[in-house]
Structure 1
Amino acid sequence: MSFIETIRLKLGSLNALPILTVMGLVCGLLAGGVVILFRLFIESGLVLWHSGEGANDFEGSPWWFRLTLPLVGGFLVGYVLHKVGKERRQVGVGHVLERMSFHQGYMNWRNAVVQFVVGGMTIASGQSVGREGPGIHLGSTAGSWLGQKMHLPNNSIRILVGCGTAAAISASFNTPLAGVIFAMEVVMMEYAVASFIPLIIASVTAAIMSRIVFGNDVAFIVPSLDLQSLWEIPYFILLGLVIGVVASFFIMATRVVATRARDWSSWLKCGTAGTCCGIIALGAPQIMGIGYDTVNSALHGELSLQILAIAFVGKLLATIICSGLSLPGGVIGPAMFIGATLGGVLGVFGGYMFPNYASDYAFYSMVGMATMMSATLQAPLAALMALLELTNNPNVLLPGMLSLVIANLIVSQLFKQPSIFESQLRVKGLELKVNPLSQFLRSVGVAGLMERKMVVQDKYLPFEQTEKLLESTPRWILIMEDKVPKYLMLANDLARYYFEQKEKDAEDKKNAEESGEMYEAPEHGDIDLFSIPADRQDIASVYLQANLEEALDTMDRESVDAVYIFRTTAPLNDKIYGILTREAIESHYSYK
């Protein structure tokens, strides 16, 4: 057995942490490198119609530039998407969740190439989208590609997709811990030690690479601010209530737009989104691009109430349109922008009403940024970690946790809204499968639970070879007919039949000797394994890379209780590795 094959079999189990850690390191290098290239692509002005002032400095541009850049960019992006075909248009975080939920994390690198190109074009042309969504797609694809190239088990590919996600967030925001939590909370939807350590090493690796290229600063430069008084706590509750309502409206409105435009062509969707962005940017240029400069200004208290309010309303409307019309960009950055400006507006009003107790409005912008992110993505822990790492200020955690919990409850319990990503999938008619049993079954490969004590035997077994076959004490016999597996039977059934025949022969010999007759040993023909008394089971096949969920799905679909595990080692040459039964899966889950 080759070294790579040994790794594949080891990764199928739950005890593959050292190997997964190394794979996480490699994935961090790949994903971090791809995301860094994507950031450089955006920032270098490679897109031909980009202004010379930088990706984030649209406020000083003339009105005609703010109108025409998104308009022309939108139609160009739509044209490219129209040309690449329907399958290749599937991009973004929603696509990653779809592949994780329905395709075991298998992602096509061609979609990632499309995401790289049109994502960069979209952001550089001033559309109201973020770079994190495309980055997550690119990082996830890097992890998936690595697993596919090495033919790793599907449970390991899922972990590598998580590693790519963590690396992407880490490289985008320079927040390694938030990257890990986001990957587990939003993409993998599980917390497990087997996943946690590989994700950490991938995230740290990407963060180091990002700091080498872009420096040590995080995405937002935040001043040191403190909670002025505990009397502000009720106002932070109000902040959570307001942001919860706004986040619910954002999710619902985006879904309405997406549903209405579901049958539109790509160029019409993107062109309409670009046109709307250009029109909104005439009065609110802050909404163009990723908007980190505006967020930084809000976090430093440099914006007036009027600018905060205009930027909030403009960004909310523009992002609803861009996201609803499927522009290939992210919603994480815009959600943080909306939260920061709305928090700033409420902070200014709080300062007017309670000048002796209110903190600087920038403090409310910080809390609002994380609260909107949490409520929109339904990812409270990831938002808290991002808040802590971005601000480097533990004083923001107490009001942040309070506002964040209130906002999440408003969205999920009062308005019954899913996360923005789940909402996007529902427009496509897809419902994420999230339950503890499915999560557990996906985390274990069939190689980790299969019974290897088995033999493959043709339908006809020469009687004299039976004892030799049984010497290896197999548990199962996979019976072949015309080189195709047909039935599965317990080796004990064959042993019982064989030794019954041997005992009968011995008894006949003894009787002949006692009666003085000459004994002639019978000539046994081949044993027909289809005919002897035995409990034979129909059987289906499962590929070595499959996980337990796929094995159970195959059993249900084929109406069998067992599968044989195989891998194609050469054309028309399948190697069989073992047997997996429904009983073994159920026993394993019950034990765990």
Structure 2
Amino acid sequence: MVLLYWLVQWPAEHFMFGGEDGFAAMPDWQRALLPIISCFVLVVFFIWLPAKYHKLGIPYVIERLNYHQGVLPVVNGIVQFFSVAIALAGGLSIGKEGPAVHIGATFGSLLAQRNRLPQFGVETLLACGVSGAIAASFQTPLGGVLFAFEVIFLEYRVQYVLPVLLSSVVGMLVSQYFLGALSVFRVSDFSATLLNLDLLLACLTLVLSIVVLALLFNRVQKILWPLSRLPIWTRFSLVAMVTSLAAYYLPEILGGGYDPLVKALSGETLMYSLLVFLVAKTLLTSFTIGLGIPGGMIGPTLIIGGVAGVQVASVFGAGMGIHHELALFALLGMAGMMAACFQAPLTALITVVEMTHSSEAIVPALFVIVLACLIMRLIFQEESVFVSRLHFAGLSHTLNPFKHHLMLHSVQPVSEEVVVLPAYASPEEVKDLGASTLDFAAFRVDDNWRIARRAHMVEALEALNQGPQPWLVAEGDHILMNLFEAVESTSIDKLEDPDSLASVADWFHQTQASDVLVVFSKSQQVSVISRRAMDQFLFKDR
């Protein structure tokens, strides 16, 4: 995240007088040309890349978690890093926080894959990556933890809390060390606020405004998702044209920075009304992301909600005496908008409180958050925009509980270790097996594996006491036993490196076999798993 901030800020400092959000200070023609150049570079970038690397963002992380055991390809994370930097440098209306989640999750997944961790470890490190990325982006450690649970896992998992908290804290500390404080605005100028009739009416108005904006934000994306079948150059060209027009007439809606919100709070007038900003920012962001630009939604929703809060406070201020609470209503709007769009109430509350370094507004914030979430969910049947995106792709946002239970268990509890012998073994090797506590031996004939019980091996060895046997083979000065002919054995298929019981269960379901030989390439350990052993384990576990 530090590298991403630097990568975005470097061209801003060299080519913009106002820094990262200084698009309004640029000449009109340069500002209008910038999105076109950015989209052109992105088109060339994505056309050059194979299609499998085009999947990016938070919905992709949830998909890989539910359908691919949390394995995230490294190349997709690298593509996400550079593509969002290109888009932000061009002023496209997106955020950097959503891509940060993908990048962080990729780091966690990579560590888990390198260490061949079981599913529990994969999910833990993936959650650590997500929380660390959010904490580094906003410098909000608790918000990062809650985001991982509410948005990615869609449930609270107590057993992951300690490592995820540690990752969040480290991510925030690294971000603070390299970037300094990233406070959006401070709200130390208002004291504890008690709910009264005037404030209640203003909060209700804010809730209705947030619901309208959140519906607009979500529904525009849903309308545009079917256009993903269009060629990438067509979709990105549309984004370039619309953003270029916006850059010429409404420069302050460009980019993903918080400059418009800071200006509104400080009393500076924008080039146009706050209402125009709200509608234009909402439409442009949802249009840009809906057509496939690899950007995030978290930052823009916070900006939209914050400006909506300032607008409501300004409208009610003259008659009700709450004009001095602009910061309070900005905070309420940020929390409400984030919660309404992502159905993550606690994440929204804690993130905004940590960003603003104030807990004075928790009660009114909870009122706004809960009411906005309930209206979105119960009246308009709106889920998280990430969940809706998965449903559009025909995917489920939750994992089957039974399959998830299997994914969390390794194969050791249901496996029996096996001695591997050569197909032509010496009597001494078979005799050693007789003294072993293992019940099975495996050997390979050509490319086919066969398995035999230890008792059958001992019987063949005892038959030598009766005289030479037809399955004895002379090889130089050694006498060997042809195990294929000497013992009763059965053919068995091999499964390499299963990561959990879920992989074994899928294999049994596909093959309808009753046993499988499991081989771990790293440790060279060989075991046998029977369907009966799995059934007994599950029955006992229940």
Residue 472 of structure 1 is matched in structure 2 by 436
Q: 1:558 aligns with which of 511, 519, 529?
A: 511
Is the 2:449–2:492 Cα contact (8 Å) retained in structure 1? no
Change (3 A) 1:97 1:531: farther
Residue identity matched to 2:379: L
Residue 430 of structure 1 is matched in structure 2 by 395
Identity %: 27
Structure 2 CA distance, aligned partners of 1:47 and 1:589?
63
Residue identity matched to 2:247: A
The yes-or-no answer on 1:575 pairing with 2:524 is yes
SS at match of 2:495: strand
Structure 1 residue 360 displacement after superposition: 1.5
Residue identity matched to 1:578: S
Structure 2 CA distance, aligned partners of 1:86 and 1:47?
34
Change (3 A) 1:167 1:575: same
Change (3 A) 1:118 1:357: closer
Residue identity matched to 2:298: I
Residue 442 of structure 1 is matched in structure 2 by 407
The yes-or-no answer on 1:340 pairing with 2:340 is no
Q: 1:61 aligns with which of 15, 22, 26?
A: 26
Is the 1:47–1:124 Cα contact (8 Å) retained in structure 2? no
State how many pairs are aligned.
528
SS at match of 1:90: coil
Is the 2:12–2:20 Cα contact (8 Å) retained in structure 1? no
Change (3 A) 1:219 1:150: farther
Show CA shifts across 1:205-248 (max 9, x none): 12111111111343444444342533334543453344234323
Residue 205 of structure 1 is matched in structure 2 by 170
Structure 2 CA distance, aligned partners of 1:243 and 1:477?
67
Residue identity matched to 2:221: T
Residue identity matched to 1:138: I
Q: 2:326 aligns with which of 355, 361, 381?
A: 361
Show CA shifts across 1:99-122 (max 9, x none): 222222222332233222221110
Change (3 A) 1:71 1:559: same
The yes-or-no answer on 1:97 pairing with 2:62 is yes
SS at match of 1:578: strand
Is the 1:300–1:362 Cα contact (8 Å) retained in structure 2? no
Change (3 A) 1:88 1:521: closer
Structure 1 CA distance, aligned partners of 2:300 and 2:168?
23
The yes-or-no answer on 1:549 pairing with 2:516 is no
The yes-or-no answer on 1:591 pairing with 2:532 is no
Structure 1 residue 155 displacement after superposition: 4.1
SS at match of 2:517: strand
SS at match of 1:455: strand
Matches within 5 A, 1:188-587: 188-225=153-190, 226-231=192-197, 232-233=199-200, 235-259=202-226, 261-299=227-265, 307-352=273-318, 355-356=320-321, 360-447=325-412, 449-456=413-420, 468-478=432-442, 480-482=444-446, 484-486=448-450, 491=453, 495=455, 521=466, 539-544=493-498, 546-569=499-522, 575-582=524-531, 584-585=533-534, 587=537
SS at match of 2:22: coil
Structure 2 CA distance, aligned partners of 1:58 and 1:418?
34
Is the 1:299–1:363 Cα contact (8 Å) retained in structure 2? no
Change (3 A) 1:437 1:252: farther
Is the 1:175–1:207 Cα contact (8 Å) retained in structure 2? yes
Change (3 A) 1:424 1:209: same
Change (3 A) 1:363 1:46: closer
Is the 1:339–1:369 Cα contact (8 Å) retained in structure 2? yes
Structure 1 CA distance, aligned partners of 2:337 and 2:331?
10
Structure 2 CA distance, aligned partners of 1:119 and 1:420?
19
Of stretches 145-154 and 370-379 in structure 1, the one that deviates more from structure 2 is: 145-154
Structure 2 CA distance, aligned partners of 1:403 and 1:530?
78
Change (3 A) 1:238 1:443: farther
Query: Structure 2: which 5+ runs fail to align?
Result: 472-481
SS at match of 1:289: coil
Structure 1 residue 193 displacement after superposition: 4.2
Structure 2 CA distance, aligned partners of 1:468 and 1:538?
23
Structure 2 CA distance, aligned partners of 1:456 and 1:499?
18
Structure 1 residue 311 displacement after superposition: 1.5
Structure 2 CA distance, aligned partners of 1:418 and 1:538?
47
Structure 1 CA distance, aligned partners of 2:414 and 2:282?
52
Q: What TM-score results when the alignment is normalised by the length of structure 1? A: 0.79
Change (3 A) 1:579 1:339: farther
Is the 2:456–2:488 Cα contact (8 Å) retained in structure 1? no
Change (3 A) 1:551 1:417: farther
Structure 1 residue 127 displacement after superposition: 0.6
Structure 2 CA distance, aligned partners of 1:369 and 1:341?
8
Structure 2 CA distance, aligned partners of 1:119 and 1:537?
53
